[in-house]
Amino acid sequence: MTDKSPPEDAPKTTAELEAEARERARAAMAGQAPEQKTPPGQPEVTRFRKPAGRRTLLVSLLSLALLMALALGGDYFLAALKNGDEKTIDAAGPPSAGVARPPRTDLGMDENPFSLFAPQKPETTADNARPQNIAPPSPTPPVLNKAAALADGSGNVAETAQSGTTRSAPSEPRDSAATAREPHAASTRADGDQDNPGVAKVTGVRRLNLDPDLYIPVDRYIPCSMMRRFVSDVGGALSCLISEDVYSASHHVKLIPAGTVARGVYRTGALQHGRGRLFVLWTELRTPEPGSLQIPLVDTQASGQLGEAGIAGWVDSHFWTRFGNALMLSTVQDVAAAASDSAPGKDRNTDYTENTRAATAEMAKTTLENSINIPPTMYLNQGDIIGIMTGTDIDFSSVYQLRLKTRWYAR
C-alpha cells in the first residue's frame, strides 16, 4: 500500500468566501472615504458640527449704525426746518400801522344757530348818530311751517305761518324800543308754543358742574335695615341703619360710611284698603362719630329691595274687628225671629219680640258704620331691609377735600 498526502490546495467553503469578499469591500470603502480625525476626548458627533459664523453679529452692528444715522439725520432736518420758518417770519416784519386790514364778516356765524339769544345792539358813532330816513323793511312773505301743519292738520296753516314769520323777526337788528319789548315777545312765543303742543320745542341742556368724586347722584339706591319695630297705626318717625359704605358717582371715594342712621316720617291713614305698600319720606342722614355729619334729604322716598316705591310688610286688615260685632248682632236677631215664628198662636198683637228685633237691627247697622272704616295696619320687625332712593344730587364738596395719597413705594 502506498501512503497519499492530502492536497495542499483544499477547496474553501462558502462562508469563508463570503467573509473574504466582505473584507475586500470594507477595505475598498475605507480607501475611498477621506480620513477625518476626531479630537481626543470629544464624541464622534462633533465631526458633523458646522463651523461657527459671525453673520448675526455683523447684521446687528449694521442695524444699530443705520438707526443712529436715521436719528441724527432727523434731528438735523427738523432743526433746518425750524430755522427756515424763523427766517421767514423775520423777513416778513410787523404789519405797518397805517394800513387798515379789511374787517372779517364771517366770524361767529354759528354762535346763535337757533336765535335763542338777543342780537347785539349796533354801536352808535358820530356819523350814524344823526337821524336818517330809513325805509321800513318790506314785509316778509309767509312761510309754511310743515311741523305745525302736520300737528294741526289742514286747519290754521296760515296762522301758523304768520306766527313763524313773527318769531323769525327778532333775528334782525332792532332799536331800543324793540329791545324793551323783548319780554313781551318772549311771552308771545311761549303762548304760541302752548297753542301748538305738537310742534317740537328746543330744550336747554346744562352741565351739573359737580365733582364726580364728591357727590352722590340722584336715584341712587341705598339699602338699610330697620332699627325698631314699625307699626303704622300712629304716624311718626322711623329710623334705619345703613350697613354698607356708599361711594360717590365715580365709585372711587367713600362718602357715607357704614353705620349711618337714616331718619324718616310717615302719616296715619296713608295705608288704605286694598294696598300693600306704605309711603315713607326720608328727611336726613346722620353719620357716626367722630366727625358726624347731618345730611339733609330732599324728595327722598323709601323703596323696596328692587327699587319699587313704598315699603311692604305684613298687613292686618282687621276683618273680625270690622265685621265681627255686626255679624254677632245679626245672628242674635235671626235667632229671636226664628223663636218667635215657632211660638204657637202668634199674631201681630201677641208678637212681643218685634221691638227687640228692630232695635237689634239698628244696633247692628250702627256698629257696622263705626267699624267699617278701620284702616289696615302694617307691621315691620327689627332688621327688615328697606331702601332709600335719593331724590336729588347730594354734594359733599363743601365738607370734604381730596388729596393725592402717597404710595408706600414712593416715600
Q: Which domain holds residue 220?
A: 215-316+377-395
pLDDT of the residue at 208: 87
Looking at the fold, whether 290 and 324 belong to one and the same domain comes out as no
Q: Are residues 234 and 170 in the same domain?
A: no
Whose CA is closest to 230, among 163, 196, 278? Answer: 278
**Residue-wise DSSP of 193-262:** HHH-TTS------------TTSEE-TT-EEEEEESS-EETTS-EEEEEE--S-EE-TTS-SEEE-TT-EE
Count CB atoms within 10 A of the CB of residue 117: 8
- Percent of the chain surpassing pLDDT 70: 60
Instruction: Tell me which of 274 and 88 has the higher pLDDT.
Output: 274
Contact of 267 with 273, CB cutoff 8 Å: no
* Same domain assignment for residues 293 and 263: yes
Residues 221 and 235 in one domain: yes
Q: 310's torsion region: left (phi>0), alpha (psi -120 to 50) or beta? A: left
Taking alpha carbons only, the member of 161, 182, 180, 183 closest to residue 170 is 182
Residues 252, 389, single domain; the answer is: yes
Q: What is the per-residue pLDDT across 96-146, written as a single tens digit (0 to 9) for each?
A: 555 566 666 665 555 555 555 555 555 554 444 455 556 666 677 666 666
- Length of the chain, in residues: 411
295 pLDDT above the threshold of 90: yes
Which domain CATH number covers 237?
2.40.128.260
Q: Same domain for 275 and 389?
A: yes
Q: How many domains does the chain have?
A: 3
What pLDDT, on the 0 to 100 scale, is given for residue 240?
95
179, 305: one domain: no
pLDDT at position 377 over 80: yes
Nearest-Å Rg of the Cα atoms of the chain is 53
Both 255 and 312 in one domain: the answer is: yes
Buried b (16+ CB within 10 A) or exposed e, 340-366: beeeeeeeeeeeebeeebeebeeebee
Tell me: do 171 and 275 sit in the same domain: no
| Cα distances (Å, whole numbers) of residue 172 to 62, 92, 133, 136, 177 | 73, 42, 18, 13, 14
Residue 361 lies in a domain: yes
pLDDT-based confidence at residue 43 (cuts at 50, 70, 90): confident
284 and 338 assigned to the same domain: no
Q: Looking at the predicted structure, is the pLDDT value of residue 176 above 70?
A: no
CA distances from 262 to 230, 231, 315, 331 (A): 15, 18, 24, 51
